[in-house]
């Protein structure tokens, strides 16, 4: 190591403030070249992530625009009938957009209160031993593959829905909402819990000193203080719910109806998944499917931007 020090007088070679063994000595260009090569290599690695995002966006836009141009933006986004293989094909995706919105909204309405309360429980109320048992359970829920959720939904929930509500068939928007709510629970719980734990103890101690009970402190002081983190968790849940495909394919039926709680419906994701395999290459049907994917992508981007804005506000 000392020999190397002597023969490589300019250690960093990139102008950082590092100590030099022999100031003013001649640089060895071989080492500098090597360092530059490694720098470029790492720079490329870093740029690859940006490259992927640009590539995916551009590809989706490029594939999705032709159909929108041919069908017409208003007809496409607001048309109520999707009949892609009929003799007179129609390509209105309003049923899919509304189903995705209602399904996500339903999942949030059910999942957020339960998740939020569980997070409060874990962060503030639970005895440490109990929390140590529940927290890994939540992490496990987060790791279960979505097909497993779909399988249980298909085998347990769908027949149950059929029996309870006396329907001809249980695969419906309702079943999908329940499955989605269960799937977004872990994300909401873990992010909200982190946000709640980050509330400074001084806030809580001040509130307790003023005579509030523990529960009052939690709900009147800690929760508002952690509100942007909790909002971020909701947005995360929304993102997960709107992008879910496999579990929904197994529980929501597959008919392009306008959304109704107990009818078989198609989401934006399942619309793409179910017809992609048999749409002929180059046909308008296939290009319409790309356009649906583009619409989905735009929704997700909007949600991501919202998430970033919320997170930035939290750190400010």
Partner 1 sequence: MKKWITLALSGVLTLGLLAGCGSTQSGSAPAPTQPAASEPAAPAELSGVVNTDGSTSMEKVIGALSEAFMEQNKGVTVNYSGTGSGTGITSAQSGACDIGLSSRDLKAEETGVVATVVAKDGIAIIVNPQNPVADLTVEQIAALATGEISNWKDVGGNDGAVAFIGREAGSGTRDGFESITGTSDKCKYTNELTSTGDVVANVASNPNAIGYASLSAVDETVKALTVGGVAPSEETVLDGTYAIQRNFNLVTKEGASLTPAAQAFFDFATSKDAAELIAAAGAVPVAK
Partner 2 sequence: MQARSLSGRRRLYDRTLTALLYFCALLTCALLVFLIGYIFLRGLPHVTWELLSTKPSYLRDSIGILPNIVNTVYLVVLTLLFTLPLGVGAAIYLTEYAGNRRLVSVIEFATETLTGIPSIIYGLVGMLFFCEFLGLGKALLAGVLTLVIMTLPTIIRTTQESLKTVPQSYREAALGLGAGRWHMICTVVLPSSVDGIVTGCILAVGRIVGESAALLFTAGMGMSLNRFFVWTGDLAGSAAATLDSFLHSSGASLTVALYVYAKERAEFDVAFGIAAILMILTLVINLSAKLVGRRLRRA
Task: Give me the residues that bind partner 1 (CB under 8 A), please.
Answer: 83-87, 159, 162, 167-169, 171, 253-255, 264, 274-275, 277-281
Nearest approach in angstroms of CB 191 to partner 2 is: 13
DSSP per-residue string spanning 113-164 = HHHHHHHHIIIIIS-HHHHHHHHHHHHHHHHS-HHHHHHHIIIIIHHHHHHH
Choice between 4 and 202, CB closer to partner 2: 4
Q: Which of 43, 83, 206, 255 binds partner 2 (CB under 8 A)?
A: 43
Q: Binds 113, which of partner 1, partner 2, none (CB < 5 to 8 A, cut-off by type)?
A: partner 2
Please tell me whether residue 269 binds partner 2 under the rule CB under 8 A.
Answer: yes
**231 contacts 215 by C-beta, under 8 angstroms:** no
Residue from 98, 121, 167, 284 touching partner 2 (CB under 8 A): that is 121
Based on CB atoms, which residue is closest to partner 1, 240 or 286? 286
Considering only 27, 47, 206, 224, the residue that binds partner 2 (CB under 8 A) is 47
SS3 308: helix
CA distance 309 to 316: 11
For partner 2, the closer of residues 91 and 100 by Cβ is 100
Report the nearest approach of partner 2 to the CB of residue 264 (Å): 15
Q: What angle do CA 111, 295, 233 make, to 5 degrees?
A: 25
DSSP E strands in the chain: the ranges are 82-83, 90-91
Among 98, 151, 167, 284, indicate the residue that binds partner 2 (CB under 8 A): 151
The strand pairing partners of 83, in sequence order, are: 90
Q: Work out how close the CB of 94 gets to partner 2 at its nearest, in angstroms, rounded to a whole number.
A: 20
- Within 13 Å, how many C-alpha atoms sit on residue 278's CB side? 5
Query: How many helices (DSSP H) and strands (DSSP E) are in the chain?
Result: 15, 2
Chosen from partner 1, partner 2, none, partner binding at 280 (C-beta under 5 to 8 Å by type) = partner 1
260 forms part of the interface with partner 2 (CB under 8 A): no
Q: Phi, psi at residue 84, to the nearest 5°?
A: -80, -20
Report the nearest approach of partner 1 to the CB of residue 87 (Å). 6
Containing 304, the helix (H) or strand (E) segment is: helix 284-315
Judged by CB under 8 A, the residue of 107, 122, 191, 199 near partner 2 is 122
Radius of gyration of the chain from its Cα atoms, rounded to whole angstroms: 27
Per CB under 8 A, the segment of 90-98, 153-161, 168-176, 226-234 that binds partner 2 is 153-161
Q: For partner 2, which residue of 68, 97, 138, 288 counts as binding (CB under 8 A)?
A: 138
- If one asks whether residue 252 binds partner 2 (CB under 8 A), the answer comes out as no
Q: Residue 91: what are its φ and ψ, rounded to 5°? A: -130, 50
* Residues paired with 82 in a beta bridge: 91
Give the footprint of partner 2 on residues 60-119 (CB under 8 A).
60, 63, 113-115, 117-118
According to DSSP, residue 13 is labeled -
166: left (phi over 0), alpha (psi -120 to 50) or beta: left
Is 145 among the residues that bind partner 2 (CB under 8 A)?
Answer: yes
Site size toward partner 2 (CB under 8 A) is 95
Residues numbered 196-235 forming contacts with partner 2, rule: CB under 8 A:
211, 213, 215-216, 219
């Amino acid at each position: 190591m000392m020999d190397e020090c002597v023969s490589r007088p300019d250690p960093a070679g990139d102008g950082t403030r590092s100590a030099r063994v022999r100031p003013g000595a001649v640089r060895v260009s071989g080492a500098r070249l090597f360092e530059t090569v490694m720098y470029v290599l790492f720079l490329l690695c870093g740029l690859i992530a940006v490259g992927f995002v640009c590539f995916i966006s551009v590809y989706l836009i490029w594939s999705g625009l032709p159909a929108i141009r041919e069908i017409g933006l208003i007809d496409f986004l607001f048309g109520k009938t999707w009949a892609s293989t009929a003799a007179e094909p129609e390509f209105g995706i309003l049923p899919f957009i509304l189903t995705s919105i209602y399904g996500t909204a339903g999942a949030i309405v059910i999942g957020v209160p339960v998740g939020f309360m569980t997070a409060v429980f874990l962060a503030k109320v639970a005895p440490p031993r109990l929390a140590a048992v529940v927290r890994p359970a939540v992490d496990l829920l987060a790791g279960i593959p979505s097909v497993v959720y779909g399988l249980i939904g298909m085998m347990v929930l769908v027949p149950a829905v059929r029996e309870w509500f006396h329907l001809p068939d249980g695969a419906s928007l309702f079943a999908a909402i329940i499955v989605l709510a269960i799937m977004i629970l872990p994300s909401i719980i873990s992010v909200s819990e982190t946000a709640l734990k980050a509330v400074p103890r001084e806030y809580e101690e001040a509130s307790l000193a003023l005579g509030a009970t523990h529960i009052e402190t939690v709900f009147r002081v800690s929760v508002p203080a952690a509100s942007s983190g909790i909002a971020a968790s909701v947005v995360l849940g929304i993102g997960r719910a709107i992008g879910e495909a496999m579990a929904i394919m197994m529980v929501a039926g597959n008919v392009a109806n306008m959304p109704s709680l107990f009818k078989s419906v198609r989401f934006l994701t399942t619309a793409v998944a179910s017809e992609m395999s048999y749409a002929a290459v180059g046909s308008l049907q296939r290009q319409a499917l790309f356009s649906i994917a583009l619409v989905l992508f735009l929704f997700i981007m909007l949600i991501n931007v919202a998430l970033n804005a919320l997170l930035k506000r939290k750190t400010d």
